[in-house]
Amino acid sequence: MYRRDSVSFPSDEPEEQFTIDVQPRAPSLIERLRRRLERGDPAMRNLLVIAFAVGMLAIVAVGLYGLSILLRETEGPRPPEGGPPVVETPVGEPLILGPGVTVPPLQPVTVTIKDQSLGVYSIRVQAGGTWPYDPKRSHQAAWVYGTLINYIFGLDAGNRANVELLESLLEGDPIGVHLSNGRDLYFTFRERVRVPLDDVSLFDQRAPGVTLVLLGERGEDRLVVRGDYNAEMETEVGGGAGEGVGVPIEVGPVRVTVQSGELRRGPLPNLPQGFAYYLVNFEIENLSEAPLDPSAFQMLLIDANGTRYNLSIPASLQGLGPLPPLLQPGIPTPATSGFLVPESLPGPVTWEFRPQAGSEEVAQVQLPVQAAPPPAPPQAQVLVTAAEITPDGTGVSVRVMISNPGQEAIVVSESDVSLTVEGMPLGLQVAVPPPPWTIAPGGTLQLVLTFERPAADTALLTVLGYRFQLARLR
């Protein structure tokens, strides 16, 4: 029985009281268990031991389940649903043939479709035909790692240029693959078909060929282009010379175009006996929207024996000179990468460019080894001293100084000067003094050139091959 307590409240009348009975609260289950434990009940002790053991087993089970999930998530790349794909770029191990003799892993460096050359990065296609390609590399081709018979590349449909390129192919159009060992493979376009997204037959490696797959299209199928192997056009390393010269190659944030390569022997300043300079003249364009620091670029020369030569600033100065401290967006910049090499350099050689050391994005161009005639002395030096908008706002006036350090007179014609916007020339309105201009040996000419004012904010001024960017024109 529980004790009944009473609480009294005074009423308005001094002699009367109202009483409300308060029912005591029954003890809870926890309180009853605690009282039984305090009394030393053995049954309760056993019950607590069992409960503790069950709790610990549950904690261990939850931990093991979480660990299994973590391990499954780290087994390999998985494209998350609705999110950006995870990209794995496999790195092959070089084959060691003997002390100091190694062969790098074989893989494609560029794929050329008609006249368009694309850099290559490698991926591993997952079970079910899922392509973990990188949308940020839409200007490159994703090579399926290990496909060395039927070379398989994926092109991002998010880049409209890729779609137009594959759709423009006609029967017999060329497709080329340049390998990391310097070998070039040639194919011709055979067919363009659409296949289901889960069709894995396109990975077949029983016959040589090339397969180009358009990735990221909407729908249940995708565009596939196939090309046949053309053995008659194939060249081995050391065969032809100059493969890739003049072909623009996009690699990372830049586009590079090699124009020429030449072996330059002495006597030259700082050139040791028995050595020569090898000069690679190239043009580079910054494809990003911000100025680019070229100090991270890596340029190497590789001879026919696989010997690698690092960039040499003294050698580069024997040509157009090294790259400037900053590359402005959208402006092609000519430069020379020079290398100190033995006079008996075995060729052909391969010029290798990477946007940064160790990057898998690479451009490689094969060049001949041939001695060039001694360089002619510089024929002109050009300097822009001022540029301004004309008072009426319709023209751009540029002050140019041309010096002749040579021993012969230089004649400059109107065709030697131009102002262009995206390759389109603007009219030369006034030139003071009028053309043609003759500069005596050791002399200097001051010019004022007035061009039509462009609609764009920037324009490219060219004088005797020297190029200058004019900005803030609007």
The beta strands (E) that lie in 23-147 are given as 95-98, 101-103, 108-113, 116-123, 141-144
Of residues 269 and 212, the one with the higher pLDDT is 212
Q: Please state the separation of Cα 158 from the chain's center in Å.
A: 16
Tens of pLDDT, residue by residue over 48-58, are: 556 666 566 66
In a domain, 95, yes or no: no
The beta strands (E) that lie in 17-77 are given as 17-22
Identify whether the C-beta of residue 277 lies closer than 8 Å to the C-beta of residue 338.
Answer: yes
Which structural domain, as residue segments, surrounds residue 59? 29-39+42-73
In a domain, 173, yes or no: yes
Looking at residue 17, its pLDDT comes to: 38
Percent of the chain with pLDDT over 90: 30
Per the structure, the count of domains in the chain is 4
The beta strands (E) that lie in 313-380 are given as 333-342, 349-354, 363-367
Statement to judge: residues 143 and 223 lie in one domain: yes
Statement to judge: residues 253 and 322 lie in one domain: yes
Helix (H) or strand (E) holding 308: strand 308-312
Looking at residue 81, its pLDDT comes to: 32
CATH number at residue 346: 2.60.40.1240
Of 310, 338, 340, nearest to 323 (Cα)? 338
Identify whether the C-beta of residue 242 lies closer than 8 Å to the C-beta of residue 280.
Answer: no
**Distance (Å) of CA 183 to CA 172, 211, 220, 358:** 21, 19, 37, 22
435-459 in b/e burial notation, b at 16+ Cβ within 10 A? eebebeeeeebebebbbebbeeebb
Percent of the chain with pLDDT over 70: 71
Q: Per the structure block, which two tokens stand in for 100?
A: 């100091």
The secondary structure of residue 44, as a DSSP letter, is H
Of 339, 351, 327, 141, nearest to 245 (Cα)? 351
Give CA–CA dist 307/138, Å, rounded.
Answer: 33
Statement to judge: residues 303 and 363 lie in one domain: yes
For the segment 441-453, the average pLDDT, to the nearest whole number, is: 91
Statement to judge: residues 185 and 289 lie in one domain: no
In a domain, 292, yes or no: yes
* Mean pLDDT over each residue of the chain, to the nearest integer: 76
Tens of pLDDT, residue by residue over 27-44, are: 555 566 566 656 666 665
Statement to judge: residues 270 and 390 lie in one domain: no
In a domain, 1, yes or no: no
The pLDDT confidence band at residue 369, using thresholds 50, 70 and 90, is confident
11-33 in b/e burial notation, b at 16+ Cβ within 10 A? eeeeeeeeeeeeeeeeeeeeeee
Q: Per the structure block, which two tokens stand in for 191?
A: 């067919």
- Long-range CB contact pairs, 89-95, < 8 A, 24+: 89/121, 89/122, 89/123, 89/360, 90/122, 90/123, 90/124, 90/145, 91/360
Tens of pLDDT, residue by residue over 160-186, are: 999 999 999 998 899 999 877 667 888
Of 143, 150, 148, 90, nearest to 119 (Cα)? 143
Looking at residue 382, its pLDDT comes to: 86
Statement to judge: residues 152 and 272 lie in one domain: no
Give CA–CA dist 224/201, Å, rounded.
Answer: 12
In a domain, 82, yes or no: no
Statement to judge: residues 205 and 149 lie in one domain: yes
Statement to judge: residues 166 and 123 lie in one domain: yes
**Distance (Å) of CA 196 to CA 123, 224, 270, 339:** 20, 10, 63, 50
